[in-house]
Structure 1
């Protein structure tokens, strides 16, 4: 089977009896080339199946006009929304975006960093895996003055631009909200503490309990990947014996929805017997019954901030050293039916008949 031969601008030039430089300018919409010539060149390029070699062009001008983006899972609502905003914003400024997912695998994240560096991207934005604690595989970008931005899941002490949500405040507000609704025994289902998100949310949870003089109990906190399967396993433990908790703070909405479905099966009423609050304001939280109180992390705002940070860094001189700076994206508690105040039914009294 013969190997496909790539057509080049030389082939186009020969077919049209034009110089290679004229063809090149026509393909790049140079103002000095007539519209008629541009149309002829592009028509012949399509006929021959010519494909521009962006990598070769990047080698010539030391710019690929391509930005790398690494997220844990593109299927999740939060990173999917952020990725879309980043891609659209950068496209407006003439950049292409290579979106990669690590699947929360540190091994894949390391391999992606190497691949994206070899691809000669102009900048990189990363939301790290749950288990990334050593970020040295990104040193090659810093050392070579390639703009690097971390967002959402970020390193603690790594000298680059960091954009993250106010997760401490989110954890605090959720816990205080449950307390204000009358909860005194609040379970927190957290992610692993190798990730900054959950370190900060747990800290907010603890401080809210402390402020309201409610004892923190280690047995009431679960540290796990926030999957449906793990949420069900946690439910088995939580509801294996009484007393049941009167509030649950779930660190994502998938977990909150799973708890709600489990409670329905064991006849625990939400919000009358148990109040539930999730996190990230996934669209599913609003349409399920009862709708779930959650924390809006404003992914569109975060995506906009990440894109702007990348564009700002790309405008700086190539030798500018990267410095640590942190930018917080606000959060907002969205109150819904799953944590509504319980309405006690009035007792019915039977009037005695007069004798």
Structure 2
């Protein structure tokens, strides 16, 4: 017996029907009787027929697929975003192809080209930490394929951008610590090639200035926000007195690592050091003491990404590519690491 994939031609031959009749029956065409549809579908199951979605997409120029590129699927924020986007797209009859760049610019370029070749009808992207050249996305714009950037997004590239209010997040986190009486606050951010961290740093500086507290360059650190890097920074921070009275870590992995470091070194949180994280990872609520963090509302962002893509796909005219931003509000979730009572302050 041949191992080749069965086609509608095989079904037609078995049932002595025309290929066009079989095709219409499989697609529930109204002009085909229910009896014929059932015969065709039964034979399709018997032969192990599998529809060729790629071929169908080539014929109709509609793949019913959306591409998604995120830095790391293992991280709380992109994982949550990806799940909600997939669920929302499924509701409107679209599939999601999820790719992770692993924060490699070269890999991001390859993935974008692969998704273009896969004929996705739209693309949503959160870029790597180091993406400053966006020319690999130009082909999508040239071919009028909807393109939406979110979270990590370009500042000047002519596309739709949906991002959190990172400036407000930096300002609120720092203001909260200042209002708790802290005056020596460490800032730990990611590489400044990524706009997220420039915005959060600006918010941090603005809060210090508003409270008339001097900005100390030696209290600011930048690196990829991993556990290993956070531990190295802790060694620098606590190498010699005077120690800071607070740390604003711009992701929760770093905040949790600092808390664990303090526990190992006998530094009491929040009595001797207050800590604020960023993203409101579920771990921050269940760890002891629980960690104050900034909620970015990933569900709201994901819903807006899907809505924006659908608006662009369904538009009667090609997308007008211009730089536009939609800002998702943040919320400071106050917990025990800053003597909080699980209060929320929305901005």
Do the two structures share a fold, i.e. TM-score over 0.5?
yes
Q: Using the alignment, how far apart are the partners of 2:149 and 2:178 within structure 1?
A: 34
Distance 1:274 1:4 in 2: 67
TM-score (norm 1): 0.94
Shift in Å, 1:318: 5.4
| Paired residues for 1:215-234 under 5 Å | 215-234=214-233
Please name the residue that 2:333 is paired with.
334
SS at match of 1:326: strand
Give the 4+ runs in structure 1 shifted more than 4 A: none
Give yes or no for contact 2:69–2:101 (8 Å, CA) kept in 1. Answer: yes
**Correspondences of 1:82-161 after superposition (within 5 Å):** 82-161=81-160
Alignment partner, residue 81 of structure 1: 80
Larger mean CA deviation between 216-225 and 84-93 belongs to: 84-93
Secondary structure, aligned partner of 2:307: helix
How far 1:99 moved relative to its partner? 0.6
- In 2, distance between residues paired with 1:222 and 1:110? 29
Q: Give structure 2 stretches of 5+ with no counterpart.
A: 341-347
CA–CA distance in structure 2, aligned partners of residues 240 and 110 of structure 1: 41
Instruction: Supply the distance in 1 between the matched residues of 2:102 and 2:92 (Cα, whole angstroms).
Output: 29
Unaligned runs of 5+ in 1: 342-355
Q: How does 1:170-249 map to 2 (within 5 A)?
A: 170-249=169-248
Give 3-state SS (helix, strand or coil) of 1:333's partner.
strand
Q: Secondary structure at the match of 1:67?
A: strand
Show the counterpart of 2:310. 311
- Measure, in 2, the Cα distance between the counterparts of 1:295 and 1:60: 47
Aligned to 1:54: 53
Which secondary structure state, in structure 2, belongs to the residue aligned with residue 129 of structure 1?
coil
Quote the offset at 1:3 in angstroms. Answer: 8.8
Distance between the aligned counterparts of 1:9 and 1:30, measured in 2?
Answer: 15
Cα drift, residue 31 of structure 1: 2.4
Are residues 1:66 and 2:58 paired?
no
What is the distance in 2 between the residues matched to 1:186 and 1:4? 67
Residue 5 of structure 2: SS of its match in structure 1?
coil
- In the alignment, is the contact (CA less than 8 A) between 2:146 and 2:319 conserved in 1? no
Alpha-carbon shift at residue 43 of structure 1 (Å): 2.0
Cα RMSD (Å):
1.5
1:4–1:318 Cα change, 3 Å? farther
Residue 327 of structure 1 and its aligned partner are, at CA, apart by: 0.1
Q: Distance in 1 between matches of 2:52 and 2:12?
A: 16
Q: Say whether the 8 Å CA contact 1:146–1:318 is kept in structure 2.
A: no
Distance in 2 separating the partners of 1:318 and 1:56: 26
Q: What corresponds to 2:30 in structure 1?
A: 31
Matches within 5 A, 1:162-177: 162-177=161-176
**Partner Cα separation in structure 1 for residue 277 and residue 63 of structure 2:** 41
Instruction: Give, in angstroms, the shift of residue 37 of structure 1.
Output: 2.3
Greater Cα offset, 76-85 or 202-211:
76-85
Q: What is the DSSP-based 3-state SS (H/G/I as helix, E as strand, rest coil) of the residue aligned with 1:230?
A: helix
Cα distance, 1:322 vs. partner? Answer: 1.8
Structure 1 residue 320: Cα displacement:
3.7
1:346 corresponding residue in structure 2: none
The Cα shift of 1:53 comes to 1.1
Provide Cα deviations, 1:284-333, integer angstroms capped at 9, x if missing partner: 00000000000000000000000000000001135343222110001000
Distance in 2 (CA, whole Å) between partners of 1:269 and 1:79 is 32
